[in-house]
Each structure stands twice: as C-alpha cells, then as structure tokens.
C-alpha cells in the first residue's frame, strides 16, 4: 500500500470500530497529513483489505516519517509520533468521562467495557507487544498458577540511550503515574502519552483516577492512582479506598502493593493500586482456619490455604470490615515473633506491612491481608521473606501484588536460557548458564527415565511453576508447616484475645 492507502485504511478501521464517527473522517485525515508533513492526498479508489491492525498501520506511518526525514530513527521519537497520530482520533477527556458515566449509570461493567475498548483501540494498551509474552498456566497444590515471561517491553538501542544522556532532566510530570501524563506529548526518556485518558473517581472523599496499564498482565488490568503525588501508604484510609472502589465496581478486584522496599512494588513514590477483571488462584484458595473477631461481630475471618500468609476478612458492612482490617494491620506493624524470625523494627526502621486486596462476591465484601516483612540477614541479603538464592535463577525480583495473587512475571532472559536447560536435560550439546546448572542436574536425575524431545517443554514449564511456588513460600512470613501454622494462629489470638 502507498501512504495514502495506509492513512485511509487506518481511518476505515477506526470507523468500523466506532472509534470515530463518519463526520470526523476529513478532520482526522487532515490532522494526520499535518503530522506527516504531507501537502497532498489522493483518496484511494479502492483499498484491498489486509490483516493489518491499528498497531501495524501506525508502524507503517511512523516508518514513512522516518524514511522521509520527519523524525530520527529513535525509539522515543517514533513513540511520540505514533501517539500523536492516534490522538487525532481521540475524544477529549471531558467527553470520555461523560460517556463513561452515562454507561456507568446503566451498569458499571458497561462503563469499564467502553473505557477498556477505547484504551485498546487507541493503542494505549500495547496489544501487539503484549502478544509477544509467553503465557501459560500450571496446576499446583495451591490451584492453577499463571506464568508470564515478559517480552513486551521494547529494548532501546545505543542511539536512544546516548540521546537520553543529552536531554536536560525535568520534573514534569513528576513520575509515570502522575495525572499530568494525560495527553502529555512525551520526550526523550519519558513515554508519549498523547492518547492517554483518565477516568475521574471519588474514593472515600478523595480525587482518584482510573486508567489501564499499557502492558496489561491480565484481563482489564487497571491502575487506580491518587491525584496527589505522594508516597505509597497502607493505612485505614487506604483500606477504605479499596473497599470503596469495589463497591463502585463490583466486577473488579483492587489491591495495593506493600508500602515498604523489597516487599513493595516498583513504584513506591506515587500512591496507587492495581485491579482488574480477573480471578487469580489466591482469590479461589480455600479457607484453612476459621476464626471470629470478638470486637467485630459482623466480620468473619479465615487463614487462607496459600503459600504466603493471608488473612481473609468477610463482611456485608464496609465500615466494620475496614475497622477489623485496620486493627489487624496496626497489630502486625508492631508484632515480633522470634520463633518465626519476625521482628517489627531494626532500631526505628519498620519491617512489617501488608499487601491488601479487596473484592466483592455477590453482596459480601472481602479483604485479603497478606502479611509482609522486609527484614534482611547475612544469609538472605535481599530479604529473609524474599526469593531465596536457590530460586533466584528463575525469579530474583520483588514479589509485588501481582505475584502475591499467583501470577509470576518472569524476565525475558529466561526464553533463551530455558532452551539451553532443555538441551542440558536431554543430554544434548548446550550453553547452559552456570546459575541454572545445578537445577539442570536435578531435572536430569528426576526425569532420566521419562524425558524426551516431545515432553521436555512441558516438563520445564511444570518445573518453572514449582520454582515460582517456592518463591511464594519463601515470601510467606509464617511457613507452611506445623510450627508456622501455630505461629500464625498465635498472631491471630494476639489480635483477637478470647
């Protein structure tokens, strides 16, 4: 296709998706021509439809701009132009919010369906890149765990990196989550957000916003962010906001990363949550030990059968549920148990916090409180309740909210590395990484009578999942044995004296 055909197909696809109306066609075309510095346009008599989707057509337009000297061959410049092009199709934030709430008053799910479709069609959600990820599920003693090897994040070339070094830093927007990213053109070193839109929310009397993650890890993976740029904090008000969100959007769950380093997420400098329309293995996990809370008679408690240490609270009364959760949180903040290697402080440095997750099942609200501790030791320098050294060849990074719930986000390096592990186990010539060698020897011994070329792939998937299960067990503050369960019940009794 020539460039006019590409532009027209992009417009036709947008029309077919109801992304724009027929009245917008000429306006959108002229905006695109301006960005591509084109002074002429020949309306194609006939376009031969092909399988190109909006992301593919955008790439063709960006490629045209580079070849014609409009932009440099730099990742960020290409992203900025692509975002500008698709923004020609985008409604203003006020229109997006009006449409969202018109649909919300019919049904909250209709509102999020609209906004999710808009975020996908506008290429804000990077569907083409996300499709590169390796995803599979595997059965374990704790249910079906999700595994993702993340290949979606694009790598920059040396020219991009050199260009970034020459750019003067700026404090606007303050971070990648700030509301000022909405419609921001982008710059070298900061992602383009011309096509980014936010939904205004009120959570417990505070202004918050809803958006989707550009690189979704699960269905309708959303981010809920504070208007104010402030540090992550888990407290009573935060728990109240989580419950408020699921009361407004009962088809979604929402949770927060912990608010301390090591056990927290990658962004602790901006208060935010993550949610979505997906049921993780942890949400399906059974109650293992039931208990009542004397001070909160309308709240039912349970220890959940899960590799990490999870307390699940249920109630139809939001205020009482939050009060009970906050009581447990405040008690945990100060809790020591030398028998379980748990200390709340080193000097004045706090170690205990939680990863909270809220959902609504029919008319019952649930709050899962995952107990976390970020203390380190000489033996476990990255964290006592962090993936231990014998699993770090698979997963070394922090265990955040997504992993806590049962989805492993594993690094891209594993794709070539696991191929070499397969060769090693099969006894073929290989270049296995040294840190995988002991594991390879274990697998070779374990499967020596049954491994072959046909089943090696499934064996490796199963064993990677087993490693992830171990990662979660390492992160559990009360271990999955008799001593650990007794220690867990001891904490419950301390919170809830009989």
Residue 159 pLDDT greater than 70, yes or no: no
pLDDT in tens, 121-140: 999 999 999 999 999 999 99
pLDDT digits (tens, 9 = 90+) for 356-386: 999 999 899 999 999 999 999 999 999 999 9
Beta strands 407-410 and 143-149 are: parallel
d(CA 77, CA 72): 7
Average pLDDT over residues 54-71: 96
- What pLDDT band is residue 265 in, cutting at 50, 70 and 90? confident
- Tell me how far apart the 2 most distant CA atoms of the chain are, in Å: 81
Percent of the chain topping pLDDT 90: 90
Closest CA to 232 of 272, 184, 278: 272
User: Confidence band (pLDDT; 50, 70, 90) for 408?
Assistant: very high
Summarised one tens digit per residue, pLDDT across range 386-396 is: 999 999 999 99
Residues recorded for the chain = 498
- pLDDT given for residue 43 in this prediction: 87
pLDDT band at 45 (very low <50, low <70, confident <90, very high): confident
d(CA 215, CA 217): 6
> Does the structure show a pLDDT above 80 at 455?
yes
Q: Is the pLDDT of residue 314 over 60?
A: yes
Instruction: Share the mean pLDDT of the chain.
Output: 94
Token reading at 475: 């992160």
pLDDT tens, residue by residue, 174-198: 999 999 999 999 999 899 999 999 9
Contact 417, 436 (CB under 8 A): yes
Q: Domain coordinates of the chain in residue numbers? A: 3-91
pLDDT at 160: 60
Residue 496: pLDDT over 80: no
Q: Tell me the mean pLDDT in the region 152-157.
A: 68
């Amino acid at each position: 296709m020539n460039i006019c055909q590409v532009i027209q197909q992009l417009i036709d696809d947008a029309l077919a998706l109801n992304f724009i109306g027929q009245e917008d066609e000429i306006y959108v075309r002229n905006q695109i021509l301006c960005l591509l510095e084109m002074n002429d346009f020949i309306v194609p008599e006939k376009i031969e439809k092909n399988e190109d989707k909006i992301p593919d057509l955008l790439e063709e337009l960006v490629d045209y701009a580079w070849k014609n000297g409009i932009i440099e061959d730099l990742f960020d410049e290409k992203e900025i132009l692509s975002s500008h092009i698709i923004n020609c199709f985008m409604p203003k934030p006020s229109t997006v919010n009006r449409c969202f709430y018109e649909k919300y008053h019919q049904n909250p799910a209709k509102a999020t369906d609209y906004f999710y479709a808009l975020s996908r069609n506008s290429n804000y959600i990077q569907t083409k890149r996300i499709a590169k990820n390796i995803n599979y599920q595997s059965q374990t003693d704790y249910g079906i765990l999700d595994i993702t090897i993340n290949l979606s994040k694009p790598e920059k070339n040396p020219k991009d990196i050199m260009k970034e070094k020459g750019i003067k830093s700026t404090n606007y927007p303050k971070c990648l989550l700030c509301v000022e990213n909405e419609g921001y053109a982008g710059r070298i070193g900061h992602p383009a957000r011309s096509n980014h839109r936010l939904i205004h929310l009120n959570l417990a009397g505070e202004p918050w916003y809803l958006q989707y993650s550009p690189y979704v890890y699960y269905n309708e993976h959303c981010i809920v962010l504070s208007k104010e740029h402030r540090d992550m904090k888990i407290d009573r008000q935060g728990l109240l906001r989580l419950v408020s969100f699921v009361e407004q959007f009962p088809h979604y769950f929402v949770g927060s990363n912990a608010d301390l380093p090591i056990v927290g997420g990658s962004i602790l400098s901006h208060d935010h949550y993550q949610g979505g329309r997906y049921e993780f293995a942890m949400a399906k996990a059974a109650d293992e030990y039931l208990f009542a809370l004397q001070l909160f008679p309308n709240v039912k408690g349970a220890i959940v059968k899960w590799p990490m240490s999870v307390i699940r609270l249920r109630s139809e009364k939001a205020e009482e549920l939050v009060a009970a959760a906050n009581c447990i949180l405040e008690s945990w903040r100060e809790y020591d148990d030398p028998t379980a290697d748990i200390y709340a402080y080193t000097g004045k440095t706090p170690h205990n916090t939680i990863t909270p997750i809220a959902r609504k099942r029919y008319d019952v609200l649930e709050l899962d409180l995952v107990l976390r501790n970020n203390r380190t030791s000489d033996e476990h320098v990255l964290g006592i309740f962090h993936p231990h050294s014998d699993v770090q060849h698979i997963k070394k990074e922090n265990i955040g909210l997504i992993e806590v719930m049962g989805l492993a986000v594993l690094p891209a390096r594993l794709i070539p590395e696991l191929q070499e592990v397969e060769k090693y186990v099969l006894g073929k010539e290989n270049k296995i990484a040294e840190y995988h060698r002991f594991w390879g020897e274990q697998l070779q011994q374990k499967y020596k009578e049954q491994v072959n070329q046909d089943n090696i792939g499934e064996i490796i998937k199963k064993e990677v999942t087993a490693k992830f299960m171990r990662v979660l067990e390492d992160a559990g503050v009360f271990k999955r044995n008799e001593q650990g369960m007794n220690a867990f019940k001891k904490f419950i009794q301390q919170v809830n004296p009989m």
